[in-house]
Structure 1
Amino acid sequence: MDEKQAIQALKDKNFEDFGYTLDENKEYVIKIRIEDSKDLSEFPEELKAFTKLERIWLLGCNIKEIPEFVTQFNSLKEISLSDNPIEELPEFLSEIKTLTDLNISSTNISKIPESYSEIPMVGIIIKDSKIEGFPPILYKWKNTLEALYLNPLDELPSDIGTFKKLNWLTAELNSFKYIDTIESMEWLKLYNSKAKYLPENFGNLKNLEDLDLRDCKNLVKLPNSIGNVKKFWGLMLDGCERLTALPRGIENVSIGVLDLSGCHQLRSVPKGLQVGTIRAENTKWKSMPSGIFFSEANTLWVTGHQISDITGIGNMYNLELCNLANGNIQKIPDGIGRLKTLSSLNLEHNKIKVIPPALKSCPNLKSIKLFGNPVFDMAEVDLLN
């Protein structure tokens, strides 16, 4: 069976979700992906036809074991078996010297064989497997490991900083101790952690680009040293219910998306935030946290709130898209006329009774939505649009 025949044979099996990737020259299959096919209980024999195979993704199937024929693939880099009832990793995988990435999340695997220490592991995902804590074998890869997804644990080991290439970490922690020693870190996912404080020297992570603290419900504050980080593509604080303010140092950081959804107690952020998008959905804010109207945001998306007064919004000179739907806003302030870049304004389901003439001073305003307000009058809204 050649590769074309093997592809057709796999297609004929009508998997729930099937895909493949060819090499740059469109000659050989280098990746096979099969997802959500519970009828699939073993690796398809057709895989043997793909002599240049680099990545095998069998996700959400019913695979119970890894066959020995995978050792025949001389270029195999990744095996991803998330959400399968596999209970054991076979010793023979250690024979695959090209293997660098292993995903065994949501499996019944409880141990990584010691023989795997010879594999030059770059990325390993053990989250939601039966492997607990910080497995000692990880130290065998401290010079190669770049991405690590762990199961919940109390805290990272004190020598985690010796993993010099580690740049992506996902973990639920009871303490954020030693996080600040991983100076190579770029993407840090700590959602659902129980810790109250990030280390004061968190700013040591100068290469950090993405910080996810979603649903860290005990988090009380962020350290001022966070201002030493150059940029965040995303700073996810949604669900951090106890945060009352953001530190002054954060005004020095360029932020792509700042998510404050569910930060019900947030009262202030520093003026002059260098941020692209501010998002806060389903908060209990009765007033906009001070400082937000003095940010450089071009998108403000605050919905499902209790805010009644948006005086000050006219200071958001970069604002292009504004969505403040589903709140208690009483009026549109005249200062909104200073927003020369504003193109879309959504104030649906508030308590606005008057459309101010100042909106006509917004030269780029293409869309205004006021449905669900006392003022709503389609003829008048159409005139503005």
Structure 2
Amino acid sequence: MNRIDAALFPTYTCLLVLCFSFAIGQPSITRNRNLEVPVYKSPQDSVRLANVNALYDKLHNDERVDLKILDSVENLRDVLREQAILRFRILYKPSPDFTPYDSLTLIRDLRKVKRVSIIGLQLKELPSILLRCDSLQSIELVNCSIRKIQKQINQLPRLTSIAILNNTYKRPLRLNKNDRITLLAIHGDHARALPRSYRKLKALETLDLSNNALVKFPNGAARNRKLKELSLQHNELTLRDKLKLHPNLEKLALQFNRIQQVPDQITRFPNLTRLSLNHNRITNVTPAIGSLKKLKHLSFYNNRLTSVPTGVYELRSLNVIDLYFNQIEAIDDRISNWDSLQILFISHNKLLKLPEKLTTLRLLEELYAYDNRLTSISDDINQLSKLRIIYVQNNCLRQIPNTLLQLDSLEEMDFSENYMTDLPETIFNYPKLRFISLMNNPWRENVRLFIDRKSKELAMYDITVRVSGPRNSFH
């Protein structure tokens, strides 16, 4: 696979962000969580793995070690990791842009404080000093023990956001009535410590229950009429349990769970506009998914699909679909149903050709089809008049169709890691061109010289042309 320098290629960086956090934006109060530690099946497993790790490190630093022995120990370490580690838990730290609670007494004017972190306290109620912070908008409780969020929060007129990170109290958290809180994030290791209901938070719009070791879908927010976003990333969900109707939910994030099948119950979220199922084990998707008529963003990044699910073809409102890292061998002509599609991610699959009806997607702006087995690009590619970005690197292409040169809208292209020897001279004449990569193709000598010359000329106009690479016979 071609590696792209993100510093030279800002759009690719945006693409990575989109793929890994597709469905729901993480609240700013929960971003600075940077340490994961393993949870072992038993103390003995922890000791065994520690001993093997120590042995591996010792052998790795020994220049005289037999490589076969080193490989054997490395394999043993990998097996033990798989067997010994149940999951990973996060050690939470306070957000750096929040004011620490213990420094509040040093602040002359508490009315200017907007964000506060309370760290490592046993709390029966929120500290009374917070009531003097008239502008307080966000509170995070990090590694505290608290049983209920009291009526005090109603005395903070601007408070809209609460994060509870690793609450050490093991019983369900109790919530008092509140008409202002719009965002609640609870992250921890104990699903039994989650509230049974969220109905008392009348204004709740975003609920983030990521990293709670949930094995069943939390239906406690089904009656929150204003709830729009629900994030359940990094749990143990399978979607096999009964789901309640969530009539108002618009965004549902289910990344990093244990989902193997998307069941008929997905219709319990009839107003979804954004659904992320990234990093699961999905092989089957119910045709009923096609009833989600408002769905605009759908992501199956890194699953086990061998074809585009039948019901997905019926989603006519899709603007973006992400099928990266699956095992899809073909996309059929029903793709023409996606007449609102703007971005198509189908890289890292097993496609031998692009679908014939691709060119009916007249709103398509970005096409990512690299790391497949494509041998050609259709001559009617010029019908995609809005296409700005096309990435088809790491395929089996032998030429660029002349019709592609008719697309004045193109800004970024990548034809690296293919089998091209010739290149149309007008490939650099796009009026909006910003980036083109031609790396690792077996160009003819005269073509190589032409590309080198053009790359120097275009550099003066901040247009990047990349061409160097080991596959070229002349390098």
Which band: TM-score by shorter chain?
0.7 to 0.9
Residue 89 of structure 1: which of 131, 146, 151 is its match?
Answer: 146
| Gap change, CA 1:367 and 1:89, over 3 Å in 2 | closer
Residue 378 of structure 2: which of 286, 311, 314 is its match?
Answer: 311
Equivalent in the alignment of 1:209: 273
Equivalent in the alignment of 1:147: 206
| Larger relative contact order, structure 1 or 2 (CA cutoff 8 Å, min sep 6) | 2
| Gap change, CA 1:35 and 1:101, over 3 Å in 2 | closer
Equivalent in the alignment of 1:187: 251
Is residue 235–residue 255 contact of structure 1 (8 Å, CA) maintained in 2? yes
| Gap change, CA 1:231 and 1:144, over 3 Å in 2 | same
Equivalent in the alignment of 1:56: 115
| Gap change, CA 1:142 and 1:292, over 3 Å in 2 | farther
| Gap change, CA 1:249 and 1:212, over 3 Å in 2 | closer
Give the alignment of 1:118-197 within 5 angstroms: 118-120=177-179, 121-127=181-187, 129-133=188-192, 135-141=194-200, 143-150=202-209, 151-156=212-217, 161-171=222-232, 172=235, 173-175=237-239, 181-197=245-261
Is residue 199–residue 223 contact of structure 2 (8 Å, CA) maintained in 1? no
| Gap change, CA 1:345 and 1:76, over 3 Å in 2 | closer
Calculate percent identity across the aligned residue pairs. Answer: 17
Query: More displaced, 257-266 or 245-254?
Result: 245-254
| Gap change, CA 1:288 and 1:48, over 3 Å in 2 | farther
Q: 1:313-342 CA distances to partner (integer Å, 9 max, x unpaired)?
A: 615343121122233322223443453533
Structure 1: gaps (5+ residues): 1-16, 18-33
Q: Secondary structure at the match of 1:336?
A: helix
Question: More helix by proportion, 1 or 2?
Answer: 2
Residue 389 of structure 2: which of 316, 321, 337 is its match?
Answer: 321
Equivalent in the alignment of 1:350: 418
Equivalent in the alignment of 1:26: none
Equivalent in the alignment of 1:240: 303
Equivalent in the alignment of 1:297: 364
| Gap change, CA 1:140 and 1:185, over 3 Å in 2 | closer
- Let me know the Cα RMSD of the aligned residues: 3.9
Is residue 178–residue 203 contact of structure 2 (8 Å, CA) maintained in 1? no
Q: 1:250-294 CA distances to partner (integer Å, 9 max, x unpaired)?
A: 45533343222212235326322222222345x142424535454
1:258 aligns with 2:328: no
Give me the whole-angstrom Cα distance separating, in 1, the residues matched to 2:413 and 2:176.
Answer: 57
Is residue 354–residue 374 contact of structure 2 (8 Å, CA) maintained in 1? no
Give me the whole-angstrom Cα distance separating, in 2, the residues matched to 1:223 and 1:251.
Answer: 9
Q: 1:220-241 CA distances to partner (integer Å, 9 max, x unpaired)?
A: 2253543543352x32221122
Is residue 337–residue 360 contact of structure 1 (8 Å, CA) maintained in 2? no
Structure 2: gaps (5+ residues): 1-31, 33-93, 459-475
Equivalent in the alignment of 2:330: 267
Structure 1 residue 118: Cα displacement: 3.4
Give me the whole-angstrom Cα distance separating, in 1, the residues matched to 2:228 and 2:96.
Answer: 30
Q: 1:185-215 CA distances to partner (integer Å, 9 max, x unpaired)?
A: 1111011232333343645645322211111
TM-score (norm 1): 0.72
Is residue 117–residue 140 contact of structure 1 (8 Å, CA) maintained in 2? no
Equivalent in the alignment of 2:29: none
Give me the whole-angstrom Cα distance separating, in 1, the residues matched to 2:417 and 2:250.
Answer: 40
Give me the whole-angstrom Cα distance separating, in 2, the residues matched to 1:239 and 1:349.
Answer: 22
Structure 1 residue 362: Cα displacement: 6.7
Is residue 191–residue 212 contact of structure 1 (8 Å, CA) maintained in 2? yes
Equivalent in the alignment of 1:285: 350
Q: 1:150-196 CA distances to partner (integer Å, 9 max, x unpaired)?
A: 22433335675333222111124211655572110111101123233
Q: Secondary structure at the match of 1:255?
A: coil
